[in-house]
Structure 1
Amino acid sequence: MADSKLKPPTSKDKAPLKPPAVAALSISNLQLPSSAQQKLTVGSNNTGSGSATGNPRNKCALKPGYSLMSWVRLCNSGDDLSGTGGRVVPVSRAELAKHNQVNDAWMAIRGKVFNVTRYMDFHPGGVDELMRGVGRDATKLFDEVHAWVNYPQLLGKCYVGPLKENVTAKVQTVAIRPPPAPTELVPRFDWIQQRSELTLCFYTRRMANPGMLLKRKSAADALELYIQLASSWHVFDFKLSDAVVWPPKAVRVGHETGKIEVVLSKQVAEPWTTYGSQKVDKLNAPSEEHYEYEVLHCADFNHDSFQLSLQSVKEAVLMHVPVGYHLDIEVPHNGQLLERSYTPVPHNCLPSNSAQIDTDSSPGIRQDFLVKYYENGAVSRQLHQLQPGATVRLSLPRGSFALSALEPHRNILLLAAGSGITPILSLLRPLLRRHTNRLERLQLLYFNKTNSDIWLRDKLQALQEADERFTCKHILSQAEQPVQCGRICQELLAPLFDKQQAESFSYVAVCGPTGFNTAALDSLKALNLKPEQVHVFQG
């Protein structure tokens, strides 16, 4: 890291300390020769028929989602691609040499140092080719094959600082520190419209994993929207310019981008001069409010579990639950209220025969659960007896899972036992669809007693067939051949953490009964996993 007195560049700073001027990045302003642009476009379409470097020996088919246009979008997303928090940091050759790994890659070109870590999977020449230049001055190597590329614009958002030949002793003895802790995250609001539609947009942060609650108010031009970020709630009370239709036409929450979009149909199709007005507030602690839901469907799922589908009464609220979070279901029992925690199941994980109870309601108005029935369980027994039209109350989402903790990891292991599969289900598609630091391997070890206890076996098998990066292995304590028999233990997990294997797992998510969780944690600790490499879901 540079001297602690280093300040962000000002207009008085010398030119070499200024980051390269970067306009809104697009293919058109990369200023490539027409032939080179053609090659770059061909290579980015994963055809393997062209080379972005102009060197026919360096062809490499890019992974889906890693085209040049995807890189342009990432550069324009506002992400900190340099890793310096927006500061310009002079870099010595000794410091540059330390950043020579795939997940920590810097290189210097003509006296400018760039952090190319996030560019790895976008490089048309492949990761191995780019790795030839990391940790050193790659100017000569760059000129051999990339002389026509406008690198200041292509890598402008990755700029760390100037390469210093003779950095002062004081700077040399101070290690590069990570960027300062981010300031408190406050959602940023914007709006766009078409003649017949209004879209409310909220920007949080990449991997922020936001939750959302949208309330319909009595007036057709009034809405109240809550955005959940960890334990804080940000409240937007809207008075719109005119009436809108409820429920929303669409609600989109980006697990990776952190962007929330609420698309509303206008009652009268005409342009608005303004969206209206809003009041903004913040709640530092989760609200104890509960919301009334009615039963749409309650039916047995297997021999000891059932499916429960709920819809907001009068469709008054729309709720999006963050990945890995749960809801408390509240029911009356012997004159008092009892609560139990259940994780909603993604609708696409439900059995095919549940399609008959699907509604036209907007996503988020309905919540679906798979619940294990316990003969002595006061809540599960009462829920099992509910008939369509009966009501229960749901809490706001609760949990402590940080989706961002998984971002640095490309090989992730999931350990689930019995009904503990439900929070794991919420992770599968967000992880497999992740564009940044795309996953290489996602494996689920699912522990049960017998084959009849396995939930959603067909769905898990279908996902495994659809994406080769995902595998699901069933382990039974009372096994019938050819399924593996066993219980969670160090010996079972040890082969998955062999440091000599390129695909050794570096992160583990665990959910099951208390005894299962404890045994898993003990085994992982014995295998030298650090606390920050493990998350255990607790009810």
Structure 2
Amino acid sequence: MAATFTLDEVRKHKSKDDVWMVIHNKVYDCTKYLDDHPGGSIILREVAGTDATEQFVDIGHSVEATDILKELYVGDLAEDEHAEEVEIFRPTFEKVAMEAAIDINKVAKSKIRNNIKKTVAMSSVIASVGAVGLANGWWTGPEWALAAVTTAQKPISQLAKFIRAKFAQNGGSSKLFWWGVGIATVVELSLTTAVTTWALSKFEAQKEFTHFPRSRPAKKERKVAILNVPTSSTTGPAVKPPVKVIDPANWRKFKLVRKVLVSPNVYHLFFALPHPTDVLGLPTGQHIALRAMIDGKSVSRSYTPVSNNSDLGRVELLIKVYDKGLMTKHLERMEIGDQIEIRGPKGAMQYVPNQYAKEIGMIAGGTGITPMYQLIRAICEDKYDKTKISLLYANNTEADILLREELDGFVKAFPEKLSVQYVLSHADDKWKGLKGFVTAEMIKEFLPPASDSTKMLLCGPPPMVAAMSKNLVSLGFTAPGTLSKATDQVFLF
């Protein structure tokens, strides 16, 4: 089990050659890394003996930096001194150009114009030679077109000689000549207009790609139907998308509107959002931070809601009250109408349906079921998500099992997606399920084996999480990191 340190103990390690600090509620001895730090040792010495989480996140460290932290880890910060995890979101987006990226008319304008000119000029010559020849009887029948093209390809000087020779052979009839010129002019104008119009219609290089039809239709089974949405032709106002109310950088106050005691020391709390149609805006698998002034001190803790973005106008929390828990005791004392500060989203989990994993194994203890339930609900309610989930849920007694009715309902409705095994450490004689503590044998029997397409999620009391991590490593899983990453095979909430 990891060592535990208080902030006072960490503050003692802030000399020139003794540099400790706290990052994400974990304690690190950075002394041996002073000379290797890319930014120089002075940066580390400035935050020695303090909680440097905010500075660490603000600078924007790489995955390599978090790997280095593993080697410097010496223990955890005492639980009653935990601060909220500081996370700064820096989303980047690539804008897809809706207009042609290259001005084709500017780049190739002269080339296109010259090609059209050549085509029009050639057509004019062919028409003229052909018409004049027909009028004067130089050729007859279908061979006239080939002869005209062949003749028109000659240089202009040779064409002049050719025409004069032909007129000489036919007596140079003035009447026939002007008749031929008239026909040639009409044919030339007709061909010129037709060819020019056709050529210009084909050169649409500057047309936006959205103007062209799709190469193939969308699959029928993936079409989205939007029902009962008023349009400009209906009498009602346009329906706006729900407003997401939480902010990762700013605290907002939310009012407690309902409070239900669901089991000994466990409360189901309902906080109202600003408007009945608002949504919290929390991505699946992430959590929020709560903050309150308690005994004159600002205290914040992280919690995972059991509600999601389909629950309009509210956020729901399931919390267990601990004797020494500053925040849980405060929540227990809250009256209807009291307010709490919330901000988020927070957390390293980044769940994407059908991409995160084919199979997910979960081991939860007590209130550690809340992040698991959030994922279970999202996967089961999404008919296109084919991810399979297996859950081992540990508690002391049957009365301690939280969200049992909801979990059993999902198992009954989606047996192909979800299986749940309850494990009780203090079961009575009537209990027919698993007894004792979660073991490697239980994991092997009820959860998916280690593979590239499998993820294992853990959440519960620290001793339990530490024991389960060891069990999973013995079964072939990669040990979880000190700081959880979305790509971890074993992810710790």
TM-score (norm 2): 0.48
Structure with greater helix share of residues: 2
Q: Larger Rg: 1 or 2? A: 2
Structure with greater strand share of residues: 1
TM-score (norm 1): 0.44
